[in-house]
Amino acid sequence: MLHFYKKVALIFLGLIMLTVGLSYFCIQQTFIHHFLLPNNHNQAEKNKFNWQAEIDKDAHTGGNSTIKINDIEKTLDFDVLVSSQIEYPFSALGLNFIDEFGQQKLIDLSQYSTVSFNVKCSNENVLTFIVFTYDEQLSDPDDFLTYRAPASFFSCHSNWQTIEIDLSRLELQLWWFYMFKVKLSHNNYYLDKVAKIQFSTTGQSPTDITSRVQISDLKLIARDWRYLYGLGVVLVIIWGGFIWLFFHKHTQALTFALKEKLMRERPLVAYQQLSIQPQKDKTKADLFQFLATEYANPDLNLETTAQAIGISRNRINDLLKLELGFTFSSYLNKLRLTEAARLLALSDEANVAEIAYSVGYKNVSYFNKLFKAEYACTPKHYQQVLQKTKNQ
């Protein structure tokens, strides 16, 4: 059985490593991060999400708001000043998606569920994140005002904080519906044709004061749950198969081990012929003959045996050690347990308690404990295993 358990341990460790490897791979594929900042973070991502910065402000409506870009390579760092001279002032910084030739490009963001970034503002501010999506029925490619532009608001202050925006829960502004005479019920949008994303001031941004806005680690996050579902199915199959195979092979290995042990220990059974030459060592012959006939006596012990055959207790232990390598108590238990194993193997209906009493044990629980220690299974399991192999 030790060889079997070693093999099981190696297979178990191998499956643990396989599980960890598969889990890591599937989690990586489930949660995909594509960075938009820095703009040259990764060449493959740059080719897919190449963009150029564009500022927008309220000058065309008579406003005096300004925006100044400090950095767009590693962070979006810009200063805004929102003028209060008009009713709806604003300043905004957009990321226009372009191809390798610098031309406007519509990209598919439908696989992404979340946009995440870190943000800090010199003055407490409320900004908006906007996604400009092309509408086949309404949009003029050269006029972003005609694009559907779902948005989400977020706050920022003087300490860095992480913002996560659910791209499936953005909202279209009411003014857009009225300007283009679109029914309010037609508030759906699709992310398969996105022209740009934009960070803009809002009606709750501080006015007539310069505010610095810094945005870093801007990234799109995709969640493809198919990998985790697939991982679950694969792990159930792998570990379910391992458990089934373990119990199947364990039964076979246990059966083989029990049969081998029973055959190997039969020479120790007192009721069989032992390799003793009585004429050469009468004391030894008397000892084994006595144990062969009295092992089932529940009151048998070292003291009664010494008195019965007229030799000292130490001499008995010395003889057993020399001949078989056992002490008196261990040899007596070996005799009783081997006989019990033989009786259990005869029938799957044999009563465990009766067999325990018949081989000299007064306490069935103690018998079960000794038997399990000797044969690595309970008497009932031992009985079932051997009977099962007989019926095959």
Residues 215 and 296 in one domain: no
Same domain for 45 and 167? yes
Q: Which of 165, 192, 224 is the last residue of a domain?
A: 224
Sequence-ordered alpha helix ranges (H) in the chain? 2-30, 43-48, 174-179, 226-265, 282-294, 302-309, 313-324, 328-346, 352-358, 364-375, 379-391
Whole-prediction pTM value? Answer: 0.59
Measuring CA to CA, which residue among 118, 75, 84 is closest to residue 205?
84
224, 249, 280 — which closes off a domain?
224
pLDDT digits (tens, 9 = 90+) for 158-203: 999 999 999 999 999 998 999 999 999 999 999 999 999 999 999 9
- The whole-number pLDDT of residue 279 equals 41
Quick check: is 254 in a domain? no
Q: Residue 209: which of 69, 80, 59 has the closest Cα?
A: 80
Domain presence at residue 76: yes
Q: Is residue 181 part of a domain?
A: yes
CB 339 within 8 A of CB 359: yes
| Same domain for 360 and 296 | yes
The CATH number of whichever domain residue 374 belongs to comes to 1.10.10.60
SS3 382: helix
Contacts of 287 (CB under 8 A, 6+ apart): 305, 309, 311, 316, 319, 320
Residues 85 and 194 in one domain: yes
Q: Is residue 335 in a domain?
A: yes
Q: What is the CATH number of the domain that holds 108?
A: 2.60.120.430
Same domain, 273 and 360: yes
Looking at the domain assignment, is residue 74 inside a domain?
yes
| 240 occurs within a structural domain | no
Residues 191 and 320 in one domain: no
**How many separate domains does the chain show?**
2
pLDDT for 260: 64
Query: Is there a single domain that holds both residue 187 and residue 296?
Result: no
| Residue ranges making up the domain that contains 182 | 36-224
Query: Which of 190, 224, 258 is the C-terminal boundary of a domain?
Result: 224
Question: Do 220 and 109 contact (CB within 8 A), yes or no?
Answer: yes
> What is the C-alpha separation between 191 and 130, in angstroms, rounded?
12
Determine if residue 278 is left, alpha or beta; phi over 0 gives left, psi from -120 to 50 gives alpha, anything else beta: alpha
pLDDT, residue 321, reads 86
Residue 249 lies in a domain: no
Q: Are residues 86 and 177 in the same domain?
A: yes
Same domain? 92 vs 213: yes
Same domain (yes/no): 324, 200: no
- For the segment 298-348, what is each residue's pLDDT rounded down to a tens digit? 999 999 999 988 889 898 888 888 887 888 998 899 889 888 888 887 777
Residue 366 lies in a domain: yes
Q: What is the pLDDT of residue 278?
A: 47
pLDDT at 256: 66
Same domain (yes/no): 206, 104? yes
Regarding whether 209 and 274 lie in a shared domain, the answer is: no
Residues in the chain predicted with pLDDT less than 50, given as ranges, are 41, 267, 270-279
Of 360, 375, 373, 369, the closest CA to residue 264 belongs to: 375
